[in-house]
Structure formats: structure tokens, C-alpha cells
Amino acid sequence: MAYRTHVSIIADVLATVREYSYEGYDNGASVTHLIRKANVPHQRLSTIVSQLKQSGLLQELPSQSRYKISERGLEFLNAYNNFKGFAESYGLKI
């Protein structure tokens, strides 16, 4: 797998959570889903998830260890994808 920057790992985590946060499916993403789909080790994921919760990009659901993307998280993910496209147009990565 290609080298991933910290921000791209965060974007992968948010994108995974978004997949489980669509309307009509409110269970959220479990830690297992995140580890498997975002391809992040458990210890690192815990740090990232707590950072994302602190910054308001992720919401922890009442059922423990399940997460949902917030409005702010969606906004960040859209902005990230926009800037990623911009950098890739120059043949660069972010």
C-alpha cells in the first residue's frame, strides 16, 4: 500500500464512518469496521478517534464504541476531497 499521510488516514476514517452514517441506518460504524476498512491499527485508531471526537468531526453514539460522522465532519471530508483533487491535478499528494 502507498504511503499515507496523517490527514489522509483521518479522511479514510471519516469516509468509513460516513458509509455507516447514511439516513435510515443510524447504528454508526463500530471500531472493528474502522480498523478493517480504514486499515488502521487499534492503538492508532483510538488516538485518531478521540482527536476527531474532540474536534467535533465524529459523534459517539449512546451504544458504546459506535461512531457517526457529524455535519462538521462531512464538511471537512468534502473540503479534503476538493483539495486532494487540486493537489493531484499538479501530480502531488496531500
Partner 1 sequence: MPDTTFQLVMNLLGLGISVFIGRFAFSGFSVVGSPNLLRLTFAFILIAAGFAIFAGALFMEPAYGQAMLTLGLAAQTIGYFFIALSHGLKRSFDFAPSPRLAMVPLAVAPFIIPGNSIEHLIRSISFILLVYVSIETMAAYMQSRKPTTLMIGSGLGLLASAELIAWYDFIYPGVFSYLALAIKVGGFGLLFIPFSKFGLSSGGLGGRVNSQIGSGV
- The residues of the shown chain that bind partner 1, judged by CB under 8 A, are 2-3, 5-7, 10, 51-52, 54-55, 57, 72, 75-76, 78-80, 82-94
Q: Which is nearer to partner 1, 29 or 57 (CB)?
A: 57
User: Least distance (Å) from partner 1 to the CB of residue 50?
Assistant: 11
Classify residue 53 as exposed, middle or buried by CB count within 10 Å of its CB (0-12, 13-18, 19+): middle
Judged by beta carbon, residue 54 or residue 64, the one nearer partner 1 is 54
Query: Reduced to 3 states, what is the DSSP secondary structure of residue 23?
Result: coil
Instruction: Give me the residues paired with residue 59 across strands.
Output: 68
Least Cβ distance, residue 49 to partner 1 (angstroms): 11
| Sequence-ordered list of residues with C-beta below 8 angstroms from that of 60, at least 6 positions apart, any chain | 53, 66, 67
Q: Which CB atom, from 42 or from 94, has the smaller least distance to partner 1?
A: 94
